Amino acid sequence: MIIITDDEGKQEYQKDAANYLGKADKVYLPETTDEINFIVRDLYSNDIPFTISAARTGLTGGGVPHNGVLISTERLNRIIDIDVENKSALLEPGVHLQTFHDELRQHNLMYPSNPTETWSTIGGNVANNASGAKTFKYGATRNFVNYLEVVLPDGDEIRIRRGEYFAIGNEASLNTLSSNTIKFSIPNIKVPSSTKNAAGYYLRPNMDLIDIFVGSEGTLGVIKKIGLDLLYQSEEVISAIVFFDDYNNLLNFTEYLRNDNPRQLKPRLIEYFDKNSLDLLSKHHSDIPQESLGAIWVEFETNSIMLEHDTLSLYELTLEYTDLVEFTWVAMSDKDREKITKFRHDLPLSVNELLTKYNQQKIYTDTAVPANSFRIYYDEMYSHLNSMGVDYVVFGHIGDCHLHANLFVKNEKDKEKAEEFYHYMMKLAVELDGTISAEHGIGKIKRPYLKYMFSDAEIDGMKNVKKAFDNKNLLASDTLFFDR
């Protein structure tokens, strides 16, 4: 194990991708997964608070400590096994997503959870129930987690396979390796109707108890090993960027694809770029038509027999919905598809670059709503954005009715307006039966807003779950909740 105590060495561990700043007394880098148990047991017996961090690409401060020890999983980065026949893998938590994707490709396998930030780790993804563009078809990380080993805040451990331990009604109990039993009640909480949600614990009566750990943001234990389900790669993929000169047509096109449709086009992802996003990207990409008001990136999985038919269906559909068909990009090879993926990835990076360049603070939304209220949400968002006079860029996972509105705040006045908008969007999302955070989680930054979504009783119910795992309240202080 490596221990970092000097200020300079600790520096990079005290902030995340949102530039959220914290402080750690020491940083521990375990080099074997069993060292985690050893470290945690020691911290527990000395009453030292600790926080877990991985690649710190998180955007809500969850991986940034406020005090005590930071345990970083960066050296626990082995892919332990890829079982091609059973389409599953066993990994240490610190494996970077890109490394895993690249390795799987060699075996013609795919792990569909693909957050835009591929430097993030599998452990971080599980802790945040991360999601990506393909979540539209495949759901978030949760759907692929089949096994977890979790070191509890006292150094004990739970090993749990999906399908093994369920809550009985609202009562849950889990056995640890040293034969202790952790018992807790599952509070009845209101679950939003959006297809994505990363706010608060996953709690349902009769739930599979592996799910309590997925999306728990490092507050219940240290995820030590992860078993994942995998899929075969699709034989053929059609990937296209469709440009629109009319917002209404863009939304109708999206709605058509989101639902079952007569052309039987079932995308695996539907992503949105607004006019400002395209303007930003056009600095590095010459192929964007100037008349375009927005674009949709859409991908379909198909096979060599259906490829031609599906391409034709897409062509006919775009003819119906946009006058800019002639500009529609299509990737005909994996390489081109990667270029399109990069085009999408460049967007949040360009936004962050701009913010850093002008030393501006990023204020952005992570809200999502159910499909039947998406139009209201979309129209309200733009009517506010356009009346505010603050520069913005909107993009995101429109298939899941989940958009990131990014605001460029230049002065105090902008900041005031941007924050007002930010609160308004969260309240609106909740009003429309959606979520304040669809993928980035609550962490530390969004703690004040958990109460927009949940009643005090619901939040207390979640805190009780946390207490059952962490009776000394040592782990991840100030993540998710206040005043513990």
Decide whether 336 or 460 has the Cβ nearer to another protein. Answer: 336
Using the rule CB under 6 A, which residue among 162, 258, 362, 440 binds ligand FAD? 440
Torsion of CA 275, 280, 283, 285, to 10 degrees: -60
Q: Using CB distances below 5 to 8 A depending on partner kind, what does residue 131 bind out of ligand FAD, another protein, none?
A: ligand FAD
Check residue 222 for interaction with ligand FAD (CB under 6 A): yes
Q: Using CB distances below 5 to 8 A depending on partner kind, what does residue 325 bind out of another protein, ligand FAD, none?
A: another protein
| Only segment of 146-154, 309-317, 397-405, 474-482 that touches another protein (CB under 8 A) | 309-317
CB neighbour burial string for 54-85, b if at least 16 within 10 angstroms, e if fewer: bbbbbbbbbbbbbebbbbbbbebbeeeebeee
Decide whether 122 or 241 has the Cβ nearer to another protein. Answer: 241
Distance separating alpha carbons of residues 277 and 393, to the nearest angstrom:
5
CB 149 within 8 A of CB 93: no
Rg (CA), the chain: 22
Check residue 240 for interaction with another protein (CB under 8 A): yes
CB 299 within 8 A of CB 269: yes
Check residue 335 for interaction with another protein (CB under 8 A): yes
Residues 268-307 within binding reach of another protein (CB under 8 A): 286-287
Using the rule CB under 6 A, which residue among 24, 29, 39, 52 binds ligand FAD? 52
Residue type, 376: I
- In order, the DSSP letters of 273-301 are EEHHHHHHHTTT-TT--TT-SEEEEEEEE
Q: What tokens appear for 38 in the block?
A: 């050893």
Nearest to 56 by CA among 101, 81, 24, 103: 24
Check residue 227 for interaction with ligand FAD (CB under 6 A): no
What residues contact residue 16 under an 8 Å CB cut-off, 6+ apart? 53, 56, 57, 58, 59, 60, 61, 62, 63, 64
Check residue 434 for interaction with ligand FAD (CB under 6 A): no
CB of 78 to another protein, least distance (A): 16
In the complex, the residues that contact another protein under the rule CB under 8 A are 2, 4-6, 8-9, 29, 105-106, 108, 240-242, 286-287, 308, 311-312, 314-315, 318, 325-336, 339-340
Which residues of this protein are in contact with ligand FAD, per CB under 6 A?
16-17, 52-59, 62-63, 73, 93, 115-117, 120-121, 123-125, 127-128, 130-132, 217-218, 222-223, 348-349, 439-440, 443, 476, 479
